[in-house]
A and B are shown apart, each in its own frame.
Chain A
Amino acid sequence: KNEVEQSPQNLTAQEGEFITINCSYSVGISALHWLQQHPGGGIVSLFMLSSGKKKHGRLIATINIQEKHSSLHITASHPRDSAVYICAVCRGGSNYKLTFGKGTLLTVNP
């Protein structure tokens, strides 16, 4: 079993829909990161979470440490949100090594 599991693997939505991507992990962590990868390869960091909730524009990320679960929400989705969203965790005891999920491919249709 992978240490970081994301669901769904693929997600297709219509413009304007509310989107949720889930990340579950099986190890103790010190932080969780959400990343975005557009076609062509470049990866951008969206959020770093160690507890609670963060919001940036239409994106919201939450984490429940007890349940070992995080969600990334996109409100009022737009075709430009189409990308692969990657969850990565930093294990407790490691100060830099990230373990990555396999990613969720989001396609938002106009």
Chain B
Amino acid sequence: DVKVTQSSRYLVKRTGEKVFLECVQDMDHENMFWYRQDPGLGLRLIYFSYDVKMKEKGDIPEGYSVSREKKERFSLILESASTNQTSMYLCASSERLGSTDTQYFGPGTRLTVL
């Protein structure tokens, strides 16, 4: 079974702090994704990576950056956290890049920025 793990289930940070959210997958997948999920808005793509050190902006990249130094690990970075970044963050991975390919999701990190 594919396993996608995220470093924290719950995280509380203060405005202005630098925040790292870590995601690790154990199935040697090429592709990894970061989403945020907000009530009434559904999931939205923040960033996507299709290979080590390769990344592409999603629909809402402002205020975020990412790092993929190793194939299995994809990090989301909030350079200076703000209250409007309070959200549920979900990581996903997929083996291939295609409309029919399954994305496997991690359990999510609920981030609160005070």
Q: Tell me how far the C-beta of A83 lies from the nearest C-beta in chain B, rounded to whole angstroms.
A: 13
B108 with A42: CB separation less than 8 A: yes
Name B48's contact: one of A45, A48, A96, A102 (CB within 8 Å): A96
The residue on A at minimum CB distance from B33 is: A96
Tell me, in angstroms, the Cα distance from A103 to B37 when the chains sit together: 11
Chain B residues proximal to chain A, CB less than 8 Å? 9, 31, 40-45, 48, 58, 88, 90, 92, 94, 97-108, 110
Contacting residues, chain A, for B44 (C-beta < 8 A): 100
A43 with B90: CB separation less than 8 A: yes
Tell me, in angstroms, the Cα distance from A79 to B58 when the chains sit together: 36
Q: Give chain A's interface secondary structure class.
A: strand
The residue on A at minimum CB distance from B103 is: A45
Tell me, yes or no, whether A66 is within 8 Å of chain B by CB: no
Tell me, yes or no, whether A60 is within 8 Å of chain B by CB: no
Closest 3 CB pairs of A and B: A41-B108, A90-B99, A43-B105
Tell me, in angstroms, the Cα distance from A90 to B98 when the chains sit together: 9
B88 with A41: CB separation less than 8 A: yes
Name A102's contact: one of B41, B101, B108 (CB within 8 Å): B41
Please list 9 pairs of residues, one from A and one from B, whose beta carbons are closer than 8 Å in the complex, sorted by A's number: A41-B107, A42-B107, A48-B102, A96-B94, A96-B97, A96-B98, A97-B48, A97-B58, A101-B42
B99 with A94: CB separation less than 8 A: yes
Contacting residues, chain A, for B105 (C-beta < 8 A): 42-44
Chain A 69-110 per-residue mask, 1 if CB under 8 angstroms from chain B, else 0: 000000000000000001010100011111011110000000
